[in-house]
A = this chain, B = another copy of it.
């Protein structure tokens, strides 16, 4: 395998799905929030991404069954709006900068093929405080304002690392719109509470959008 490849499980029928990313990272906020959304929206896994940029090990289940690390794409088409939700086992090494750029573009290609033009990336951000703030960065002033009015704090600290930042930036370069939501977390351990905060913020936000 010298290139990434997608394994298609079924072909979902989606209308202008919102593309949501939650991968392993700080406090695992993104990955846990994405899994909550998969459960909440009864999303079905429709594609897997295998890549030579992923770590060179296999993952072994408790019953001893192996599989290579992968990204998983879930489709939710029963509610409104539709969603594509991306989660996965591991990100490429932070040092492999080119890998990050390449994977992000392959992922955006897939989402675009299914009609996505709006992206929401989810991650964690370390804070010393105990508050459960949600921070937002966006592709435009309007969007940043909109989510600020919903209760998020503008993230003005300079950088967002890895897929959570890069997917948003590269999507913007393609003319998409989107936001990044960062849940404040105090530790490096999996932080279910921070993930729950982001999940609740997101689902409330979708409800309000539908009513307006």
Contacts and interface: CB of A to CB of B under 8 A. Distances in A.
A128 interface: no
A166 B57 contact: yes
B66 A160 contact: yes
A8 to B, nearest CB: 14
Contacts of A154: 63-64
A64 B145 CA distance: 9
A138 B64 contact: yes
Contact of A1 (B54, B61, B170): B170
Contacts of A54: 97
A137 B98 CA distance: 32
Contacts of A180: 66
Contacts of A2: 98, 101-102, 105
A62 interface: yes
A91 to B, nearest CB: 10
Number of copies: 4
Contacts of A139: 65-66
B63 A102 contact: no
Interface in A23-72: 50-68
A144 interface: yes
Contacts of A158: 59-60
Contacts of A172: 66-68
Nearest to A157: B60
A53 B168 contact: no
Interface in A107-159: 136-141, 144, 148, 154-159
A93 interface: yes
Contacts of A165: 56-58, 66
16 contacts: A2-B98, A52-B97, A56-B94, A56-B101, A57-B159, A57-B162, A57-B165, A59-B158, A60-B160, A65-B137, A65-B139, A66-B180, A67-B173, A68-B166, A68-B169, A93-B97
